[in-house]
Amino acid sequence: MLSVVPSPVVVRAPAKINLHLGVGDLRPDGYHELETVFQAVSLTDRVRLSPSDTRSITVTGPGGAADRALASVPLDGGNLAWKAVDAVRDHVGESHGEVSVDIAKGIPVAGGMAGGSADAAAVLVGLNRLWRLDLEREELATIAAGLGSDVPFSVQGGTALGTGRGESLTRVLSRGAFHWVIAVAAGELSTPEVYRELDTLRAAERAEPLRRAGAPDAVLTALAAGDPKRLAEALVNDLQPAALSMRPALRRTLRAGVEAGALAGIVSGSGPTCVFLCADDEHAVRVAAELSGAGVARAVRTATGPVAGARVVDDEKTG
* Residues with catalytic function: 16, 150
- Min separation Cβ 189 and ligand C5P, Å: 11
* 4 annotated as belonging to a binding site for a ligand: no
Contacting range for ligand C5P; rule: CB under 6 A; set: 29-37, 56-64, 123-131, 242-250: 29-37
Is residue 38 at the binding interface for ligand C5P, with CB under 6 A as the rule?
no
Name which of 16 and 165 has its Cβ closer to ligand C5P: 165
Contacting range for ligand C5P; rule: CB under 6 A; set: 90-98, 187-195, 201-209, 254-262: 187-195
* 265 annotated as belonging to a binding site for a ligand: no
Contacting range for ligand C5P; rule: CB under 6 A; set: 189-197, 246-254, 272-280, 289-297: 189-197
Question: Mask: binding to ligand C5P, 110-149, rule CB under 6 A, as x and -?
Answer: --------------------------------------xx
Please confirm whether the linkage preceding 51 is cis (ω < 30° from 0).
no
- Min separation Cβ 242 and ligand C5P, Å: 11
Angle 235-288-226 from CA coordinates, rounded to 5°: 40
Is residue 16 at the binding interface for ligand C5P, with CB under 6 A as the rule?
no
- Min separation Cβ 2 and ligand C5P, Å: 44
- Min separation Cβ 24 and ligand C5P, Å: 9
Is residue 166 at the binding interface for ligand C5P, with CB under 6 A as the rule?
yes
Concatenated DSSP letters for the chain?
-PPPPPPPEEEEEEEEEEEEEEEEEEPTTSPEEEEEEEEEEEEEEEEEEEEESS-EEEEEBTTBTT-GGGTTS-SSTTSHHHHHHHHHHHHHTS---EEEEEEE--SPTTSSS-HHHHHHHHHHHHHHHHTT----HHHHHHHHHHH-TTHHHHHHBSEEEEEETTTEEEE----S-EEEEEEEPSS---HHHHHHHHHHHHHH--SSPPP-----HHHHHHHHHT-HHHHHHH-EETTHHHHHHH-TTHHHHHHHHHHTT-SEEEE-TTSS-EEEEESSHHHHHHHHHHHHHHT-SSEEEEEEE--B-SEEES-TTT-
Distance (Å, whole) CA 128 – CA 56: 18
Out of 83, 165, 179, 311, point to the residue binding ligand C5P (CB under 6 A): 165
Out of 191, 240, 253, 302, point to the residue binding ligand C5P (CB under 6 A): 191
Is residue 195 at the binding interface for ligand C5P, with CB under 6 A as the rule?
yes
Name which of 45 and 150 has its Cβ closer to ligand C5P: 150
Q: Which residues are annotated as a binding site?
A: 108-118
Q: Which residues are annotated as a binding site for ATP?
A: 108-118
* Positions that interact with ligand C5P (CB under 6 A): 30-32, 34, 148-150, 165-166, 191-192, 195
